[in-house]
Amino acid sequence: MVSGDHNAPKCSGLAQAEKAQSLSDLLFASPPDWLDKPMLRFRQPDGRWKQWSRIRVQHAVLRVAAWLESKGVKAGDRVGILGHNCPEWFVADFAILRLGAVTVPAYFTDPPEAVQYVFNDADVSAIFVEEGAQLEKLEGVDKPLLPFHGESNSISAVALDENWDNHLQASSPNRKQLATLIYTSGTTGFPKGVMLTHDNLLADVSAALGGVAVFPEDLFLSFLPTSHAFERTVGHFLPTACGSEIAYAEAVTTLLRDMPDVKPTIMISVPRLYEKIYTGVQTKLAEGPAIKRKLFNLAQKLGMERFELKQQGEDLSGGKALLWSLLDKLVNAKLREKMGGNIRGFISGGAALHPDIARFLLAADIMVLPGYGLTETSPVLSVNRYGAIKPETVGPALPRVEFRVAEDGELLVKGPMVMQGYWKKPEATAEVLDVGGWLHTGDIVEIDDDGYVKIVDRKKEIMVLSNGENVPPAVIEQHLTQSPAILQAMVVADNRPDVVALVVPDVDGVRRLWQKTMNETLPENWRQNERVHHWMLIQMRNEEHDLSSFMQVKRFAFLDGEWTQDAGLLTPTLKLKRRKIAELHADLIAGLYPKEK
């Protein structure tokens, strides 16, 4: 059994989280010198950024809480939120929590039927909703709808209306009360409402701050949906506890514009962002002159050597130090400037980050801290620490987190951040939460002698070939998508003689790589061309070289369109919905296996 380290770095927010009696205390029970500090930042329609101070946010929350109370919302009632990250989302959440009601967020990326399922299952009393496309998803819903914006009956209007000040009758909630239902995105079946108390979330904020120090001077750039447990705890509650500022990206598509504008010090993201950064760099290198590739490779090699030395408290010296200084300015500085130039740490979660991508960032002196957690654990359980990073792992357990590995390799976890259960689903709760309080994560792991956890795969997704060999699909897919020619890939192997794959190609990447390796123009009918298929298998083999032969893809099929959330083929954290994808392409998969004689 492995327990979290209690001697991790401390910061001001840790005391806030530990003494808080409810999540609303993170906002209201704060030092006086934080009151005039900027707290929330957002881009206005004219393109300029606007800031709200902490005291302004406090007043806005109290007014909206009183407004909710006047509409009959009371402690224990469930209240929905549907919309993009913005100050109104923040205010709505803390107003609900201050009343002792229960926040039920839905993903703004979900289709109407999924959103309505969440709110119906939770039996919400009212729903805060962003106007436009999000409001349209609630057509036919017979619940009071409270808009984000508007002239009178909206969050934005009430937040500015001084008549709503100090009218609250409700007493502050306590740590044992239910704070939120977060519905698991799930790769199969209907989502389940994870019941988290104020204590669960406060314990996880404290645990996270016991692993990664955050300070009032830090600036977070928020773009992962706040409805996601990872962003809610680490990008929403945690900076509130620390007196840090939160800036809201206008959209995922505006990140490249927002990062240089905001100059964040900390960002929370799933691996997809880092994968896109890596792919973008590789694409530019492939298109550029050979000298740029040589300089990049040298900078990466020297940067990795420097990173490993700094992990031991040392640094490059002499000629290597001078060379690094030059290469860093020529190669890495521009990349860091595109991220704002002030990044102190990227915190990666939601899925395993490929070690090669972590090393790429670390070698460029961009600090990335791979971590791990589940919605059912509020969610963060482990994270790599500054100065003690193992890129192939998701770090050691956080303080007060206990890990145990079952005989089959499944990770079991125990701690105050573990959920109360699934909403109205006692059987499902009993399947994952045993009487001793150990939560069965469903993840197959390895833990090294230092307590660092390496995720192998999902227990339910481990595929077994007809010869009995176990195949971890996510590992293979991570390898495949390192190729600039492959945008997405899904492995099929369960109860089959060998591994095949569905491949969504990066069309421009295919053309460039074909031209580079074959020195000729890509054939017009390349998706059906046997030479191109043989060539692509070679590219796959290049990426799979360190995998066992039985794990390597033997045949594949190109697909025409990208898998998206809108099509219902990806979860909000961009995981593949394997069953739906397999059903959609059942005939294509069948064609990849030779007919039995």
Residues β-bridged to residue 178: 197
Name the band, by pLDDT with cuts 50, 70 and 90, for residue 39.
very high
pLDDT at residue 9 in the model: 52
Tokens of 456: 């192998």
Residues present in the chain in total: 597
Quick: pLDDT tens for 237-285.
Answer: 999 999 999 999 998 889 989 999 999 999 999 887 888 888 889 888 8
Which of 362-366, 397-401, 560-564 has the least mean pLDDT?
560-564
pLDDT at residue 466 in the model: 72
pLDDT at residue 190 in the model: 76
Average pLDDT, the chain: 91
User: 277 — phi, psi (to 5°)?
Assistant: -60, -45
Which of 184-198, 244-258, 328-342, 498-512 has the least mean pLDDT?
184-198
pLDDT at 77 over 90: yes
Residue keyed to tokens 């926040």? 103
- The rounded Cα 562 to chain-centroid distance in angstroms is 20
Helix spans in 211-270 (H)? 229-232, 238-242, 255-262
* Nearest of 495, 411, 490, 498 to residue 458 by alpha carbon: 411
Do 193 and 183 meet the contact criterion of CB atoms below 8 Å apart? yes
pLDDT at 236 over 80: yes
Each domain of the chain, given as residue ranges in start order, spans 462-591
Higher per-residue confidence, 273 vs 20? 20
Q: Residue range 354-361: average pLDDT? A: 92
Distance from C-alpha of 1 to C-alpha of 3, rounded to nearest angstrom: 7
Quick: pLDDT tens for 129-173.
Answer: 999 999 999 999 999 999 999 877 899 999 888 887 767 888 889
pLDDT at residue 461 in the model: 79
Distance from C-alpha of 446 to C-alpha of 397, rounded to nearest angstrom: 13
Do 459 and 408 meet the contact criterion of CB atoms below 8 Å apart? yes
User: 88 — phi, psi (to 5°)?
Assistant: -65, -35
How many CB atoms lie under 10 A from the CB of residue 408? 8
pLDDT at 590 over 70: yes
pLDDT at residue 589 in the model: 92
pLDDT at residue 34 in the model: 96
Do 74 and 170 meet the contact criterion of CB atoms below 8 Å apart? yes
Do 369 and 428 meet the contact criterion of CB atoms below 8 Å apart? no
Distance from C-alpha of 444 to C-alpha of 455, rounded to nearest angstrom: 6
Name the band, by pLDDT with cuts 50, 70 and 90, for residue 67.
very high
The CATH label, of 3.30.300.30, 3.90.700.10, 3.40.50.620, 2.60.120.1440, for the domain at 462-591 is 3.30.300.30
Distance from C-alpha of 50 to C-alpha of 179, rounded to nearest angstrom: 30
Name the band, by pLDDT with cuts 50, 70 and 90, for residue 11.
low
Q: Residue range 488-515: average pLDDT? A: 91
User: 406 — phi, psi (to 5°)?
Assistant: -70, 170
pLDDT at 596 over 70: no
Name the band, by pLDDT with cuts 50, 70 and 90, for residue 593.
confident
Distance from C-alpha of 326 to C-alpha of 22, rounded to nearest angstrom: 51
Distance from C-alpha of 290 to C-alpha of 274, rounded to nearest angstrom: 24
pLDDT at residue 597 in the model: 35
Quick: pLDDT tens for 394-452.
Answer: 999 999 999 999 999 999 999 999 999 999 999 999 999 998 899 999 998 999 999 99
Q: Residue range 66-84: average pLDDT? A: 96
